[in-house]
């Protein structure tokens, strides 16, 4: 190859190397320039605090839905024999209604066979028989709130927290008292004294006037022969002589 040709080739090679160096230098400069112009913001903080607040208890401040609990009866003391002393089964609250404010007192007889027993075991068995009869009717418990036995003792029956089942269409706010026996024959003096004393006590506790003390047959629309001719007459005499209140 001639010397002139060699010089031309060396010149071209030198220029090519120079071009490559210039291209690399420009590319690096461009990268440096981008790095200087790009501004990266810090990673944003999470939307929750570093220490989340303690979680309040479940249902805090919520109103509890009451279950079908049996309300407590007043503490009558020795004046009244407790339901637990005779009843062999528990009430069924789902078959009863809550008692509304007390405004009336109604006296009944059980209307079954004459009953003269005074020992507590016989009275307990008699009351349990009435309770089972009422339960077979689909009621939640015995229908009366109190019973008075031939010895004049007062027995707790259905809790006063529950409406009774003793006068058709007139049970709200109405205390039911059953005098044990069938009073197409006369009641005993002890039984009448027990009725008078207990009715008077209930009138005072619940502010029930004498005009709202009834017998079953005195309710319009629910009249029956209850509480029997003799007990009806005796209660009318107690009213006249001021025995109630």
> How many CA atoms within 13 Å lie on the side-chain side of 10?
7
User: Which tops the pLDDT comparison, 31 or 139?
Assistant: 139
Averaged pLDDT score across all residues of the chain: 78
Give domain status of residue 20, yes or no: no
Question: Which pLDDT value is given to residue 79?
Answer: 83
From residue 180, give the alpha-carbon distance in Å to each of 88, 103, 202: 19, 24, 19
Query: Residue 72 phi/psi, 5° resolution?
Result: -75, 135
Give domain status of residue 40, yes or no: no
Give domain status of residue 121, yes or no: yes
The CATH number of the domain holding residue 157 is 3.40.80.10
> pLDDT digit string (tens) for 86-134?
999 999 999 999 999 999 999 999 999 999 999 999 999 999 999 999 9
Question: Which pLDDT value is given to residue 51?
Answer: 39
CA distance 175 to 8: 131
Question: Which pLDDT value is given to residue 195?
Answer: 97
Q: Is the pLDDT of residue 242 over 50?
A: yes
Q: Is the pLDDT of residue 28 over 60?
A: no
Give domain status of residue 136, yes or no: yes
Burial of 113 (0-12, 13-18, 19+ CB in 10 A): exposed
Tell me if the bond preceding 55 is cis, omega within 30° of 0.
no
CA distance 226 to 220: 13
Give domain status of residue 22, yes or no: no
Give domain status of residue 28, yes or no: no
Give domain status of residue 148, yes or no: yes
Full-model pTM: 0.70
Which of 33-37, 58-62, 237-241 is most confident?
Answer: 237-241
Q: Give the chain's domain count.
A: 1
Question: Which pLDDT value is given to residue 245?
Answer: 76
Burial of 208 (0-12, 13-18, 19+ CB in 10 A): buried
User: How many angstroms separate the first and last alpha carbons of the chain?
Assistant: 149
Question: Which pLDDT value is given to residue 151?
Answer: 97
Token pair, residue 186, equals 């006369």
To which residue do tokens 């009451």 refer? 66
Give domain status of residue 102, yes or no: yes
CA distance 107 to 198: 11
**Domain boundaries, position 170:** 77-240
Question: Which pLDDT value is given to residue 86?
Answer: 97
């Amino acid at each position: 190859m001639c010397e002139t040709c060699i010089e031309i080739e060396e010149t071209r090679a030198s220029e090519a190397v120079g071009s490559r160096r210039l291209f690399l230098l420009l590319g690096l400069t461009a990268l440096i320039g981008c790095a200087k112009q790009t501004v990266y913001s810090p990673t944003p903080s999470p939307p929750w605090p570093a220490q989340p607040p303690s979680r309040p208890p479940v249902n805090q401040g919520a109103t509890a839905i009451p279950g079908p609990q049996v309300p407590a009866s007043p503490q009558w003391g020795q004046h009244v024999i407790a339901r637990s002393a005779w009843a062999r089964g528990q009430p069924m609250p789902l078959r009863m209604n809550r008692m509304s404010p007390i405004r009336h007192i109604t006296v009944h007889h059980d209307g079954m066979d004459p009953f003269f027993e005074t020992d507590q075991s016989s009275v307990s068995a008699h009351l349990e028989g009435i309770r089972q009869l009422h339960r077979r009717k689909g009621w939640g418990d015995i229908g009366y709130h109190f019973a008075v036995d031939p010895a004049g003792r007062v027995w707790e029956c259905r809790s006063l927290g529950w409406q009774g089942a003793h006068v058709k269409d007139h049970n709200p706010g109405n205390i039911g008292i059953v005098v044990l026996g069938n009073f197409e024959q006369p009641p005993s003096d002890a039984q009448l004294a027990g009725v008078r004393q207990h009715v008077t006590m209930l009138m005072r506790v619940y502010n029930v006037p004498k005009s709202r003390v009834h017998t079953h047959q005195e309710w319009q629309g629910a009249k029956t022969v209850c509480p029997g001719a003799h007990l009806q007459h005796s209660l009318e005499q107690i009213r006249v002589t001021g025995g109630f209140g």
